[in-house]
Structure 1
Amino acid sequence: MKKIFTLGILIIQSIVLRAQTNDAVVRKIADQIIKESVLGFRGVDNQQFYAASKDIPANVKVKYATPYTGWHYTHGVLNMAMINLGKLLNEPKYTDFAAQHVAFGFNNQEVFKQRFKNDVKHYTYPYGEFFTMEELDDFGAMSASLIDVYQTVKKPEYKAYLEKAAKHLTEDRARLNDGTFVRAFPHKMTLWADDLYMSVPFLARMGKLTGDGKYFDDAVTQVINFNKYLWDKEREIYWHVYYSDLNRNGVAHWGRCNGWIMLATIHLLDNLPTNHSKRTEIIRLLERQILGVAKYQNADGLWHQVLDKPDSYTESSCTAMFVYGTAHAVNNGWIDKRYASIAKTGWEGLKKHKINELGQLKDICVGTGIQDNLPFYYNRPVGLNEKHGTGPLIDAGVEILRLEKMGK
């Protein structure tokens, strides 16, 4: 009886959500994130809240007060999405969200830098990523979002950070001989699909910010090379990883890594000069991917955790990414408008099955590394409004609203 009652409540909630306008749904999603966000820290043992790092006693270990505080690539994704929403709706509270998040990081990181210098791994204490830049995850997407914030908040410390990050990205990161970004762990010189997003949006924005074509050319090189190493011609989707030492791919066509590639390509095209010699090729690669992933969309409009494995669970973050990428490509005239139906069906699937009455997104795969067995991907846990999915969901909503306004 309890299960029947719960199912009935869920069905009613789904009907109520679908009856709302898309504008109302997108606002609810973003407003819920703002409601859940608290900038601050909380003691690991004493559970005390600290509004600023300067208030934390030297012997007290802390964590972020909420998952939406921090300097992780997921925060960069969310910041950029909030800015996009604020511009579309002309509502400062959404763009202010990103500006406040960035300012909090700059105002609080120095305490941790001094207190924990050479003490523990950078990812085990707040803002370790800010000053170590140990991996692309640590600074690429956040730097891209910082450029968006910098358009209206011209602080010299922001510019200095961007220059430092750009120098580190272009001069210090590990690459294959052909210039492709690779990781040092868990195997050296390993190419992860995720890293296209961790690098290209920042590179493309630096090109636009500085007018220096080297950033555009590097971004284009990454997109073309990642396609070379990761595209599965038979299945028409991407592998998650390429092992340069073995000269072969991994085992999984993971949903979200395919989403990262689509988003990175979109960000490049948004910033790449219209007369760039490789622009047409980049659009062709994007269209190829959109048509490829469309083959794996299920009857509810959703995509699976492992794209070509329909017995894996339906996963919300990759679905949101494909909705966003497809709708954005249609809205900008990069692909034919008839493919808008892919995005619309995906959005309706999210509203019906994955977004609850509060505007929270269900079934978001948590952070995921690489493994050489499919069960690893099948069994990754999921979270509610987990930070890997909220930014893409807002971006998906923004593009659906643009589709509506353009009558597509």
Structure 2
Amino acid sequence: MKSVILTLLCSTAFSLVANAGEKSPACFTDWPEGASPAVVGKRISENILPRKFRFETNPAKAKLGVIYPEVISWYGALTVADLTKDINLRDRLIAKFEPFLSDPGSQRINRVAHVDYRVFGAVPLQIYLENKDERCRTLGLSLADAQWENPTPDGITAEARYWIDDMYMIPLIQTQAYRASGDMKYLDRAALTMAAYFDRMQEPNGLFYHGTNAHFFWGRGNGWMAAGSAELLRSLPENHPRRARLLEGYRKMMAALLANQTEAGMWRQLIDKPESWPETSGTAMFAFSMVTGVKNGWLDEKSYGPAARRAWLALVAHLDEDANLREVCIGTDKGFSEQFYLDRPRTAGDLHGQSPMLWTASALLR
């Protein structure tokens, strides 16, 4: 009965959301108490804001500086603050960035040519989009441009490893650079690289192995691909020459995910293995991608709207009283056995899980 009601709700008229012009079907409204994206986004933002950076708490890792989970959660919190018009939250998130704009804080920005460090630029670019601080724009664009200093003969960044994790980090920094500059070269770069990953790595069933030599449909690995493609498509013009290819790959992946969603609304640590445990960070990334697809008209709202809603409500149920998301797979390198993925430890409050919850809250708010 609930699924019938949700389907009927999704087929009703759209209402426009002023923030970004996206359309919001009724199935993304009327949330149970405590489950609205504004409330959840605020709770998780307040959860991550006071956290110290790893370079402050782990001297052995201090030389690596700010790490990507800190970046992508910060980015998500900034978008939540912007979309909810929470000036106080926004200003505190921005104030936390100020030390990185001059020495010695700027030395904590890792300039190594690696996708996990280049993505740092997404945060100053988001700050620029919110307050027009030119220092942040300059910093963010410098990292986006550095990523393409020595491209491969086919025009792709040399940082591309053909791990699906790459396909959130690269599109995010390059798409943010476009949003802050209006220069199409950044979207061209991201689209070229994303298309190459679709061509080389997408399996006939629509999903992606963790790597070309790691043949397992890992949940969060596929989540990076799902979230990165949705983030890029949000800004890619209708007439872009690679848009049709990216939409084709994206929709093929979303169909595979829809077929593998559990009755409870979750996706598993290994997506295609029923014996595998439901994992929250990948689920949150898939929810973000589906919500974004429904609201932009890329996906059929009657099929994908209820699925995205079920995923969001299942995720909210996995938040503890301090807004820590439970059942998050810890950081995971490529593995070479099914058991490796099934045995990965689970944790609560890991930024790999907090981050996509913030992205999904923002997607629902747009």
Normalised by the shorter chain, which TM-score bucket?
0.7 to 0.9
Query: Deviations for 1:379-398, whole angstroms, at most 9, x for unmatched residues?
Result: 22222110111110122223
8 Å CA contact 2:266, 2:279 repeated in 1: yes
Identity %: 24
Specify the SS of the correspondent of 2:162.
Answer: strand
Specify the SS of the correspondent of 1:310.
Answer: coil
Residue 178 of structure 1 aligns with an amino acid whose one-letter code is: D
Q: In the TM superposition, what is the alpha-carbon distance from 1:85 to its structure 2 partner?
A: 1.2
Match of 2:311 among 322, 346, 350: 346
TM-score, normalised to structure 2, is 0.81
Structure 1: distance between partners of 2:54 and 2:340: 34
Match of 1:272 among 230, 236, 246: 236
Residue 225 of structure 1 aligns with an amino acid whose one-letter code is: A
Q: In the TM superposition, what is the alpha-carbon distance from 1:91 to its structure 2 partner?
A: 0.7
Shift of the 376–180 alpha-carbon distance from structure 1 to 2, 3 Å rule, reads farther
Matched residue, 1:81? 76
Structure 1: distance between partners of 2:35 and 2:276: 31
Matched residue, 2:196? 225
- Superposition RMSD in Å: 2.8
Structure 1: distance between partners of 2:105 and 2:42: 34
TM-score, normalised to structure 1, is 0.73
Figure out how many residues of one structure are paired with residues of the other and give that number. Answer: 333
Residue 51 of structure 2 aligns with an amino acid whose one-letter code is: S
Q: Which has the higher contact order (CA 8 A, sep 6+)?
A: 2
Match of 2:129 among 151, 170, 178: 151
Mapping of residues 6-405 of structure 1, within 5 Å: 19-22=33-36, 23-34=38-49, 36-38=50-52, 61=59, 71-107=66-102, 109-110=104-105, 113=107, 127=108, 130-140=109-119, 142-172=120-150, 175=152, 177-181=153-157, 190-233=161-204, 235-242=205-212, 249-338=213-302, 339-352=304-317, 354-401=318-365
Matched residue, 1:186? none
8 Å CA contact 2:291, 2:363 repeated in 1: yes
8 Å CA contact 1:42, 1:62 repeated in 2: no
Shift of the 104–363 alpha-carbon distance from structure 1 to 2, 3 Å rule, reads farther
Q: Which structure would you say has the larger Rg?
A: 1
Structure 2, unaligned stretches of length 5 or more? 1-30
Query: Deviations for 1:58-110, whole angstroms, at most 9, x for unmatched residues?
Result: xxx5878xxxx962222222122112211221112333344233223334645
Shift of the 157–27 alpha-carbon distance from structure 1 to 2, 3 Å rule, reads closer
Structure 1, unaligned stretches of length 5 or more? 1-16, 45-60, 114-126, 184-188, 243-248, 403-408
Shift of the 81–182 alpha-carbon distance from structure 1 to 2, 3 Å rule, reads same
8 Å CA contact 1:302, 1:315 repeated in 2: yes
Shift of the 31–208 alpha-carbon distance from structure 1 to 2, 3 Å rule, reads closer
Q: In the TM superposition, what is the alpha-carbon distance from 1:289 to its structure 2 partner?
A: 1.4
Shift of the 70–337 alpha-carbon distance from structure 1 to 2, 3 Å rule, reads farther
